[in-house]
Amino acid sequence: MGTLRIASSFKNVHAIMHAPLGDDYFNVMRSMLERERDFTPMTTSIVDRHVLARGSQEKVVENILCKDKQEQPDLIVLTPTCTSSILQEDLQNFVNRAILNSKAAILLADVNHYRINELQAADRTLQQIIHFYLKKCSLTSITKTIKPSVNIIGIFTLGFHHQHDCRELKRLFYDLDITINLILPEGLQVQQIHTIPNAWLNIVPYREVGLMTATYLEKKFQMPFIDISPIGLIETSNFIHKICSYLPYNPQIQNYINNHTQFRVQSAWFARSIDCQNLTGKKAIVFGDTTHAIALTKILVREMGIQVLCAGTYCIHDANYFREQLEGFCHEILITEDHTKVANMIARLEPSAIFGTQMERHIGKRLNIPCGVISAPIHIQNFPLGYRPFVGYEGTNQIADLIYNSFTLGMEDHLLEIFGGHDIKEVITKSLATQTVITWSETSLLELKKIPGFVRNRIKRNTEQYAQQNNIRLITLEVMYAAKESLATYI
């Protein structure tokens, strides 16, 4: 999945999955969540009974060559899945054979489905593609850009608010008078890859995806990289300072930061305003990927004075870094991939707000605790149309809103509970005839209960009306359906 996300982020790169029917739901996610207008550049070379019996033989090679002709991509990435991993077919051999006859370059993604997760696969694949195109490049052939420039590594499809974050970063660099050399991999063409080393330094805003590439580039081309996520005021300042340490000294920078934190950005003032006093010492729980969980915890604690009872991540492979970063910021640390453990932890600690993934939002719903979504896995509502970055100065505003709104809703809820709800009078159903002599049979009452609450009363009224018009005293299932049928009119 991570491999596919990387491959489909590049321009004119096609992914071919060696997988059984139905494993290609990635294109559903991309087309639905991102509301993508283009066909997902991905095909499945179907593994079926015949493949099991005789091996893929020519099939994979044929599919590769067919795509090469149909779409004329620059690069084709062949992706194994957990099913094809166990088949232990020599996919590299297929790749080697296909290369002979194809115009496109072909790569086999080096991922093992039983050992790594989606984010690790994405990280690995990105590094693999960059390495593939840069391995022949030598240090001497590089011409650095005249003006300071950076590469942004790790912006890709289905990422949490990646598009907005990318725009915000661009704005930040524009303000700092730094040009952006390339953005990897979103929208990148493979022909551009050889210009990567021309930048002065690399930026890795999310440590889950891009670190491997940045480390590789550092080793090979001595390109420094910055892995601070500029999420929150303090981290954004750190981020800018760190960048500037690689550039010629510019006295304007400190002014720029001060100006922003003190005057331009609402969130800084907001945190000091009287409204935010109410949040002091409130209890929260944070869970998500490493980047966002760490950033949010630090913001809650350092910038808003909120107590974080527990911070956690599902990035098990990066657990040490997570612990190290949040040392002293929270009472407990939870590292798990099991969402029932997270649910139990939330139930035990009873925070007044949760900041987590969609999973935690649903847990929150069950426990009646408000939840702000800060990290993948996410639903379609986390791909907003409006501008909602998490990084940079505008990001701090967005996060402040998110945090504040989660808590106020909670407060409101409690007040309502104390006073017994918005409207404590019992709802009186509007009925047409006050003395209806119509009775409902047992089965039809059961059926009525199955109808969703918000339309149930209307259906009940309509059915009774129908019964009255037709002089029916007892409403049976049949009468119900007949009533529905008589009302089924063209909308």
Partner 1 sequence: MNTQLNFECETGNYHTFCPISCVAWLYQKIEDSFFLVIGTKTCGYFLQNALGVMIFAEPRYAMAELEESDISAQLNDFKELKRLCLQIKQNRNPSVIIWIGTCTTEIIKMDLEGLAPRIELDLKIPIVVARANGLDYAFTQGEDTVLAALVHRCTRQNTSSNSTRNKLVLFGSVSNTVANQLTIELQKQNIQIDGWLPSQNYIDLPTLNSNVYVCGINPFLSRTATTLMRRRKCKLIGAPFPIGPDGTRQWIEKICDTFKQKPIHLVEREQQIWAQLQEYCDLVKNKSVFFMGDNLLEISLARFLIRCGMIVNEIGIPYLDKRFQASELQLLKQTCQQMQCSLPRIVEKPDNYNQIQRIHEFQPDLVITGMGLANPLESRGINTKWSVEFTFAQIHGFFNASDILELVTRPLRRNSKIFK
Choose among 44, 59, 46: nearest CA to 14. 44
Least distance from partner 1 to the Cβ atom of residue 117, Å: 8
Sheet holding 75-80, edge to edge: 42-46, 13-19, 75-80, 105-108
Q: How far is CA 221 from CA 17, 129, 139, 182, 216, in A?
A: 33, 16, 6, 16, 8
Q: Note whether 308 and 294 are within 8 A (CB).
A: no
Catalytically annotated residue among 48, 90, 177, 275: 275
Which residue's CB is nearer to partner 1, number 301 or number 354?
A: 354
Return the number of the residue (32 or 416) whose C-beta is nearest partner 1. Answer: 32
CB of 317 to partner 1, least distance (A): 14
Q: Which is nearer to partner 1, 30 or 260 (CB)?
A: 30
Residue 48 appears among annotated catalytic residues: no
Least separation in angstroms between CB 486 and partner 1: 9
- Residue 293 to residue 297: CA distance in whole angstroms: 6
386 known member of a binding site = no
Minimum distance of partner 1 from residue 379's CB (angstroms): 7
Angle (CA) 166-248-206 rounded to 5° is 25
Whichever of 122 and 359 has its CB closer to partner 1, that residue is 359
How many helices (DSSP H) and strands (DSSP E) are in the chain?
21, 15
User: Smaller CB distance to partner 1: residue 23 or 235?
Assistant: 23
Smallest gap from residue 187 Cβ to partner 1 (A): 17
In the complex, least distance from residue 27 CB atom to partner 1, rounded to whole angstroms: 4
> Of 70 and 470, which has the nearer Cβ to partner 1?
70
Contact (Cβ atoms closer than 8 angstroms) between residue 125 and residue 104? no
Which contacts qualify for 114-119: CB closer than 8 Å, 24 or more apart? Answer: 114/82, 114/85, 116/317, 117/2, 117/315, 117/317, 118/1, 118/2, 118/5, 119/2, 119/208, 119/209, 119/289, 119/315
Task: Indicate the angle between helix axes 118-134 and 211-221, nearest 10 degrees.
Answer: 30
Binding residues for partner 1 (CB under 8 A): 1, 19-25, 27-32, 35-40, 43-49, 52, 63, 70, 81-83, 86-87, 113-115, 117, 359, 362-363, 365-366, 377, 379, 443, 447, 450, 477-478, 481, 484-485, 488-491
Residue 36 or 218: which CB sits closer to partner 1?
Answer: 36
Residue 396 — φ and ψ, nearest 5°? -65, -35
Is 1 flagged in the annotation as binding? Answer: no
Q: DSSP secondary-structure letter at 391?
A: S
Residue 373: CB atoms within 10 Å: 24
Q: Is 23 annotated as a binding residue?
A: yes
Partnered with residue 475 across adjacent β-strands are 440
The residue assigned the tokens 């003395």 is 435
The length of the chain, given as a count of residues: 491
Enclosing H/E stretch for 170: helix 162-175
Minimal distance in Å, beta carbon 18 to partner 1? 12
Structure tokens at 450: 């199955």
Provide the CA 359 distance to its chain's centre, in angstroms. 12
Q: Which residue ranges make up the annotated binding site for [4Fe-4S] cluster?
A: 23
Q: Which residue ranges make up the annotated binding site?
A: 23, 410-411
Which residues belong to the active site?
275
